[in-house]
Structure 1
Amino acid sequence: MEDPTLSVVATGAAVVAVLALVLAVGAQLRLARIRRDFRTLAGDGSTDIARVAAGQNQRIDRLDADVTRLRAQVSAAEDDVRQSLRNVAVVRYDAFGDMGGRLSFSAAIVDDFGDGIVVSSIHARSESRTYAKGIVGGRSSVTLSPEEQQALAAATKGEPRSLTHSRRKDVS
């Protein structure tokens, strides 16, 4: 009672069963790998993706708040720097014909808005005089000497910090 068709069907069924078993084992291994990757993604061993996503959203919100706070602090620091007396220029010169060595000087010290001070020191053989003049918006309410004007112009333009001017004044 051996029917060749029955043998072929039985062999085919066995092959299909073995093939199904191989596919099931492969699917089980892939599922295990996906679960492992998911646990790694979750970080704490949880398998709740919604909780992981919510945690990430909270971290992003905190980072966004930190960035906003840091931007405000940087802006405040930039304002402080603009208002600091950091632009300096010095003009040295001989104020009188009987003195050499360019011992007299005018120094302008201003912020980025042109507010600050000009200090001049005039040295003669027997005496020295020092003057300070306030500067607001790049201008003084008191008349500035040519050396003071040169120092102020250099400081407000951010030019080199030390200039030399060879003007000699005659003593009258």
Structure 2
Amino acid sequence: MAVVLALLALLVAGAALAVALRNGRASGTAPADDLPADTAGLRREVAALRAEAVGALRHLAVVRYDAFDEMGGRLSWSLALLDDAGDGVVLTSIRGRNEARTYAKSVAGWSSDQELSPEESEAVAHARLARS
């Protein structure tokens, strides 16, 4: 379970790095001559950065649970990955004794056209409350 979550986190981090490299912001800091000297310029820069971050998957939550009575250890999980508008995806892995199944459901505006399980709904609710 931890390996799956670690691989998923690595995948998300790799995607974020690719976007940062594409946008030329991989170092996290801009050269001093690129920074505005006045307050109004700094405000515009902060506003531009906030606008860029709107589409980022900043609302994340994981709910772990036992999907079947015969299983223990809360090996099943639902992971909500959502942006500020509540758009994104819920990934679910249901672990049985002999198999595991994985599902992905799209989310728009904090809800889904597909029926969400109670655990998936809980993950979306926790993600909505998560501070970015």
Q: TM-score range by the shorter chain?
A: 0.5 to 0.7
- Give 1:88's aligned residue: 60
1:148 deviation in Å? Answer: 0.2
Which whole-Å CA distance do the structure 1 matches of 2:99 and 2:109 have between them?
33
Structure 2 residue runs of 5 or longer lacking an equivalent are: 1-35
Aligned to 2:10: none
Give the match for residue 109 of structure 1.
Answer: 81
Q: Distance in 2 between matches of 1:131 and 1:116?
A: 14
Deviations 1:47-74 (A, max 9, x none): xxxxxxxxxxxxxxx95xx433322221
**Separation in 2 of the partners of 1:149 and 1:68?**
42
1:100 and 1:106 mapped to 2: Cα distance? 16
Q: Look up the match of 2:44.
A: 72
In the alignment, the residues of structure 2 paired with residue 138 and residue 101 of structure 1 have an alpha-carbon distance, to the nearest angstrom, of 29
Residues 19-59 of structure 1 deviation map (CA, whole Å, 9 limit, x = unaligned)? xxxxxxxxxxxxxxxxxxxxxxxxxxxxxxxxxxxxxxxxx
Query: Residue 157 of structure 1 aligns with which residue?
Result: 129
What amino acid does structure 2 have at the position aligned with 1:144? Answer: L
Query: What's the TM-score, normalizing by structure 1?
Result: 0.52
Q: CA deviation at 1:108?
A: 0.6
Instruction: Describe the SS at the equivalent of 1:117.
Output: strand
What SS is found at the alignment partner of 1:137?
coil
1:120 corresponds, among 66, 75, 92, to 92
Per-residue deviation, 1:118: 0.4
Shift of 1:126: 0.7
CA distance in 1, matches of 2:125, 2:116: 11
Structure 1 stretches of 4+ moved >4 Å: none
Is 2:102 aligned against 1:130?
yes
Tell me, what secondary structure is at the counterpart of 1:152? helix
**Which amino acid letter does the alignment assign opposite residue 78 of structure 2?**
S
Instruction: Tell me how many residue pairs correspond in the alignment.
Output: 96
CA positional deviation for 1:79: 1.6
3-state SS, counterpart of residue 91 of structure 1: strand
Task: Tell me which structure has the larger Cα radius of gyration.
Answer: 1
- Tell me how far apart the structure 1 counterparts of residues 62 and 77 of structure 2 sit (CA, whole Å): 7
Query: Map of 1:22-41 to 2, 5 A cutoff?
Result: none
Measured in 2, the distance between the counterparts of 1:85 and 1:154 equals 14
Q: Distance in 2 between matches of 1:99 and 1:80?
A: 43
TM-score w.r.t. the length of structure 2 is: 0.67
Opposite residue 74 of structure 2, the aligned amino acid is: R
